[in-house]
């Protein structure tokens, strides 16, 4: 479809326009000047395929419309409530079948009948939609399985601390609440803090500002062997492999300036369920107005 709309299909009319000396007649029906709309809609075999398909024609008819008009009509056909859904949805495969049959004749000398093209299109469309249904059902099951598994906070190694960082950013007001909670390997909370930030313009900025504040807090408290956890997958991956994340170069530079003050640390991205305590404290700022 993209190639058809951009005059990128190698029909004879366009090949001649590009300076090649060839016979410009349509090899399917013998008409002079094989254009894209002719090959896909106006050629006798193509017209027979569309007739057999039982897809409703527009009032103007495919023969008179432009390529854009014809595809626009087909794309909107689903919402017009004309004809059966199973019939209407086969049209992309009909187009593909018509084009393939034209190439089969030119390059291999084999002619497909209109009935053959229509039958292939119907079968391929049915297979495709069946696969989508199966995939959708599989995805639903996967989501349900993930939801059913309740993830909990897991402790760090012995002699290490875990700093869970949570934030809650409000797009409309540009306010953000941030909180961090520090626990030891036994799960005992040693310290926690929260803070509000204003004029935070994006989710990306929210992530950067919140993790920088948490790391700065840990270095100010002279904590060492700290595992920083939270919803910071991209930033943490960029910090570990900066050459693969050029777009986050600024984030990495800012973060590394603070992390250099610690001799041992780890960066760990976790799901919200594993970071629940810090997130709830952060939400208390924005949702309860604790500024």
pLDDT bin (cut points 50, 70, 90) of residue 243 is confident
Residues 23 and 139 in one domain: yes
Q: Is residue 156 part of a domain?
A: no
Residues 216 and 107 in one domain: no
CB atoms within 10 A of CB 56: 13
Residues 65 and 40 in one domain: yes
| Residues 245-280 pLDDT 10s | 888 999 999 999 999 999 899 999 988 778 888 999
**What distance in Å separates the CA atoms of residue 63 and residue 124, rounded to the nearest whole number?**
26
Q: Is the confidence at residue 231, as pLDDT, over 60?
A: yes
| Residues 54-87 pLDDT 10s | 888 776 666 566 888 888 888 888 887 777 888 8
Predicted local distance difference test score (pLDDT) of residue 77: 84
Predicted local distance difference test score (pLDDT) of residue 62: 66
| Residues 114-143 pLDDT 10s | 999 999 999 998 888 887 877 777 666 665
The boundaries of the domain holding residue 94 are: 2-147
Domain final position from 147, 171, 205: 147
| CA distances to 69, 183, 199, 211, 281 from 175, in Å | 48, 27, 6, 16, 15
Q: What is the CATH number of the domain that holds 259?
A: 3.30.420.10
Q: Is residue 96 part of a domain?
A: yes
Residues 10 and 78 in one domain: yes
What mean pLDDT comes out for the span 103-121? 92
Residues 102 and 204 in one domain: no
Residues 142 and 184 in one domain: no
Q: Is residue 219 part of a domain?
A: yes
Q: Is residue 241 part of a domain?
A: yes
Residues 132 and 15 in one domain: yes
What mean pLDDT comes out for the span 220-227? 94
- Work out how many domains the chain is built from and give that number: 2
Residues 6 and 107 in one domain: yes
Token pair belonging to 212: 């920088």
Residues 52 and 80 in one domain: yes
Which among 167, 11, 43, 177 is positioned nearest to 112, based on CA atoms? 43
**What distance in Å separates the CA atoms of residue 44 and residue 90, rounded to the nearest whole number?**
20
What mean pLDDT comes out for the span 86-97? 91
Residues 143 and 213 in one domain: no
Secondary structure element (H or E) that encloses residue 148, with its range: helix 114-148
Domain final position from 115, 147, 179: 147
Mean pLDDT across the chain: 88
**What distance in Å separates the CA atoms of residue 52 and residue 71, rounded to the nearest whole number?**
18
Residues 191 and 68 in one domain: no
What mean pLDDT comes out for the span 164-176? 95
Q: Is residue 155 part of a domain?
A: no
What mean pLDDT comes out for the span 44-52? 92
Predicted local distance difference test score (pLDDT) of residue 151: 65
Percent of the chain with pLDDT over 70: 92
Q: Lowest-confidence range among 137-141, 178-182, 222-226, 237-241?
A: 137-141
Q: Is residue 58 part of a domain?
A: yes
Predicted local distance difference test score (pLDDT) of residue 289: 85
Domain final position from 122, 147, 172: 147
pLDDT bin (cut points 50, 70, 90) of residue 144 is low
Contact 177, 284 (CB under 8 A): yes
Residues 215 and 97 in one domain: no
Predicted local distance difference test score (pLDDT) of residue 57: 78
Q: Which residues of 195-229 are buried (b: 16+ CB within 10 A; e: fewer)?
A: bebeebeeeebbbbbbbbbbbebbbeeebeebbbb
């Amino acid at each position: 479809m993209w190639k058809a709309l951009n005059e990128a299909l190698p029909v004879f009319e366009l090949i001649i326009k590009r300076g090649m000396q060839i016979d410009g007649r349509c090899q399917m029906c013998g008409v002079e000047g094989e254009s894209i709309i002719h090959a896909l809609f106006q050629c006798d075999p193509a017209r027979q395929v569309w007739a057999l398909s039982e897809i409703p024609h527009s009032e103007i008819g495919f023969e008179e419309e432009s390529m854009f008009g014809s595809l626009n009509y087909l794309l909107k056909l689903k919402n017009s409530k004309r004809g059966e859904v199973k019939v209407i949805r086969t049209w992309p495969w009909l187009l593909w079948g018509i084009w393939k049959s034209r190439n089969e004749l030119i390059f291999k000398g084999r002619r497909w009948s209109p009935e053959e093209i229509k039958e292939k299109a119907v079968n391929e469309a049915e297979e495709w939609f069946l696969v989508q249904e199966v995939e959708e059902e599989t995805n639903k099951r996967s989501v349900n399985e993930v939801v059913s598994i309740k993830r909990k906070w897991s402790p760090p190694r012995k002699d290490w601390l875990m700093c869970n960082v949570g934030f809650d950013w409000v797009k409309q007001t540009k306010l953000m609440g941030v909180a961090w909670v520090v626990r030891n390997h036994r799960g005992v909370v040693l310290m926690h803090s929260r803070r509000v930030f204003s004029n935070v313009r994006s989710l990306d900025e929210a992530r950067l500002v919140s993790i920088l504040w948490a790391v700065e807090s840990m270095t100010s408290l002279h904590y060492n062997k700290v595992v920083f956890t939270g919803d910071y997958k991209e930033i943490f991956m960029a910090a570990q492999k900066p050459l693969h994340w050029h777009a986050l170069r600024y984030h990495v530079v800012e973060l590394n300036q603070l992390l250099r003050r610690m001799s041992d640390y780890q960066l760990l991205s976790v799901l919200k369920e594993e970071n629940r305590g810090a997130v709830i404290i952060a939400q208390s700022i924005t949702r309860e107005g604790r500024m």
